[in-house]
Amino acid sequence: MKLLSDSIDKRVKLYLEGYKPYFRVLKYCRPYMARIVPAFVCAWIASALEATPLVAVKFVIDRVLADKNFTLMYLIAGGILLITVFKVAFAYINTYVMTWVGNKVIIDIRMQLYDKTQKLSFRVLYKKRIGEFISRITNDVTMLQSILVQVAMDLFIRCANVAAILIAMIYLNWKLTIIAGMIIPVAFFAMNMVGRRLRSIGASIQEQVAQLSAVAIEALSAIRIVRAFATEKMEYAQFDEKNREFFRVTIKGSQTRGMLDGIMEVVQYVALVIVLMVGAYFVTSSDPAASAAAGRKFTTGDLMSFCLAIGTLARPVQMITRTLAQLRGGIAAADRVFEIIDMSDEVPLPEHPVVLENMRGEITFEDVSFEYEKGIKVLDGLNLRIEPGERIAIVGVTGAGKSTIVDLTLRFYDPTGGRILIDGVDLRELDIYDYRRKIGFVPQDPVLMKGTLASNIAYGLEHCTEDEIDAAARTAGIADFIRSLPAKYESEVGERGVTLSGGQRQRVAIARAIVRNPAILLMDEATSSLDSLVESQIQGAMNEAMKGRTSIVIAHRLSTIRESDRILVISNGEIVEEGSHEELLKLHGHYYNLHLLQAGSKVA
> Helix H segments across 285-299?
288-294
* Statement to judge: residues 331 and 380 lie in one domain: no
pLDDT, position 6:
53
In a domain, 515, yes or no: no
* Statement to judge: residues 210 and 288 lie in one domain: yes
The answer to whether 137 and 114 have CB atoms below 8 angstroms apart is: yes
pLDDT in tens, 434-462: 898 888 888 877 778 888 889 888 888 87
* pLDDT over 70 (residue 378): yes
* Statement to judge: residues 279 and 364 lie in one domain: no
CA distance 323 to 342: 27
In a domain, 100, yes or no: yes
438 closest CA partner among 519, 355, 521: 519
DSSP 3-state assignment of 359? coil
pLDDT in tens, 533-557: 666 766 776 777 777 889 998 887 7
Pairing type for strands 520-524 and 550-554 reads: parallel
**SS in 3 state form for 397-466?**
CCCCCHHHHHHHHCCCCCCCEEEEEECCEEHHHECHHHHHHCEEEECCCCCCCCCEHHHHHCCCCCCCCH
CA distance 162 to 317: 7
pLDDT, position 531:
61
**For residues 504-531, average pLDDT:** 81
Give the residue with greater pLDDT, 400 vs 100.
100
In this prediction, residue 604 has a pLDDT band, given cuts at 50, 70 and 90, of: very low
pLDDT, position 290:
46
- As beta bridge partners, residue 384 has 365
The answer to whether 132 and 210 have CB atoms below 8 angstroms apart is: yes
Give the residue with greater pLDDT, 89 vs 217.
89
In a domain, 388, yes or no: yes
Q: Which percentage of the chain shows pLDDT scores above 90?
A: 7
Residue that is last in its domain, among 315, 341, 367: 341
* Statement to judge: residues 325 and 414 lie in one domain: no
In a domain, 271, yes or no: yes
* Statement to judge: residues 336 and 366 lie in one domain: no
Residue that is last in its domain, among 341, 375, 399: 341
275 closest CA partner among 321, 319, 308: 308
* Statement to judge: residues 235 and 292 lie in one domain: yes
* Statement to judge: residues 317 and 212 lie in one domain: yes
Q: Which percentage of the chain shows pLDDT scores above 70?
A: 82
* Statement to judge: residues 128 and 25 lie in one domain: yes
DSSP 3-state assignment of 562? coil
pLDDT, position 89:
92
In a domain, 165, yes or no: yes
pLDDT, position 349:
84
Longest C-alpha distance within the chain, in Å? 121
- As beta bridge partners, residue 48 has none
What order of strands is seen across the sheet that includes strand 363-373?
376-386, 363-373, 417-422, 425-426
CATH code, 83: 1.20.1560.10
In a domain, 447, yes or no: no
In a domain, 48, yes or no: yes
Residue that is last in its domain, among 310, 341, 372: 341
**For residues 305-324, average pLDDT:** 75
117 closest CA partner among 138, 103, 134: 134
* pLDDT over 80 (residue 125): no
* Statement to judge: residues 312 and 384 lie in one domain: no
The answer to whether 514 and 475 have CB atoms below 8 angstroms apart is: yes
Beta-carbon contacts of residue 501 (< 8 Å; ≥ 6 apart): none
Give kind and range of the element (H or E) at residue 76.
helix 70-119
Provide the residue range defining the domain that includes 594.
Answer: 359-438+560-604
Work out the angle at residue 555's Cα, subtended by the Cα atoms of residues 504 and 478, and round it to the nearest 5 degrees. Answer: 20
pLDDT, position 385:
93
Domain count, the chain: 2
Give kind and range of the element (H or E) at residue 505.
helix 502-514
CA distance 541 to 539: 5
CATH code, 432: 3.40.50.300
| Lowest model confidence (mean pLDDT) among 317-326, 390-399, 591-600 | 317-326
In a domain, 176, yes or no: yes
pLDDT in tens, 290-304: 454 445 566 777 777
Burial 579-589 (b: 16+ CB within 10 A, else e): eebeebeeeee
* Statement to judge: residues 363 and 336 lie in one domain: no
In this prediction, residue 133 has a pLDDT band, given cuts at 50, 70 and 90, of: confident
pLDDT in tens, 566-579: 999 888 888 888 88
* Statement to judge: residues 381 and 407 lie in one domain: yes
DSSP 3-state assignment of 375? coil
pLDDT in tens, 234-257: 777 887 888 888 888 878 777 777
* Statement to judge: residues 248 and 391 lie in one domain: no
* pLDDT over 60 (residue 376): yes
pLDDT, position 303:
77
**With the CA atoms of 203, 204, 206 and 209 taken in that order, what torsion angle do they form, in degrees rounded to the nearest 10?**
170
Dihedral class, residue 172 (left if φ above 0, else alpha if ψ from -120 to 50, else beta)? alpha
